[in-house]
Amino acid sequence: MPPDAPREFRPVNIAVLTVSDTRTLATDKSGGLLVDRLADAGHGLADRQIVADDIYRIRGVVSAWIADPGVDAIITTGGTGITGRDGTPEAIAPLLDKVIEGFGELFRALSFEDIGTSSLQSRCLAGVANGTFVFCLPGSTNACATGWDRLIAAQLDYRHRPCNLVELMPRLKEK
């Protein structure tokens, strides 16, 4: 196939985890936004959960999804700040086989356009674990919109050029 030939969309199964001590499915606007965006893009929702800001609970849910062959990508929202209760990066980082360094850098650069120096408080990250992409976003709805609309959506779209994460999926478990 020529390098510029049109590609067909390939849906990805995505799990969404909201990290919060207070949100419910009814009040979880950030998780709801992500679910709506991934569905509008044509992807499948593999699972959606809400878990308290507890490193071991976060790790337990994400570990199960990483082990599930039906989950291609995971997006978490919340727990990426710098307060004592924010522990998503500490929960997720040990699970990653590889960190995608540019994700956090780009997210903070894009966020700077909207919130200025407050963007430095975000410890969002992304990586790969057992062939599953993991993206950790802040808990605000605006941050989730920025993360999905300006970074994740294109990288989880097989049609995106010059390259995207979906085309790498078959190679993620190579040794």
pLDDT in tens, 28-80: 999 999 999 999 999 999 999 999 999 999 999 999 999 999 999 999 999 88
Enclosing domain of residue 61: 13-170
Q: Which two tokens stand for residue 59?
A: 């790790």
Would you state the pLDDT for residue 149? Answer: 97
Full-model pTM: 0.95
Band of the pLDDT at 96, cuts 50, 70, 90?
very high
| Residue 139 included in any domain | yes
In a domain, 7, yes or no: no
Residue 2 has what pLDDT? 67
Pairing of strands 125-129, 132-137: antiparallel
Tell me whether strands 73-77 and 13-19 are parallel, antiparallel or unpaired. Answer: parallel
Taking alpha carbons only, the member of 111, 121, 118 closest to residue 142 is: 111
Give the CATH number, domain containing residue 43. 3.40.980.10
Residue 20, domain member (yes or no): yes
Residue 77 domain-assigned?
yes
Number of domains composing the chain: 1
Asked whether residue 6 is assigned to any structural domain, the reply reads no
Distance between CA 64 and CA 57 in Å, rounded?
11
In a domain, 28, yes or no: yes
pLDDT digits (tens, 9 = 90+) for 7-38: 999 999 999 999 999 999 999 999 999 999 99
Whether residue 5 lies inside any domain: the answer is no
On whether residue 8 sits in a domain, the answer given is no
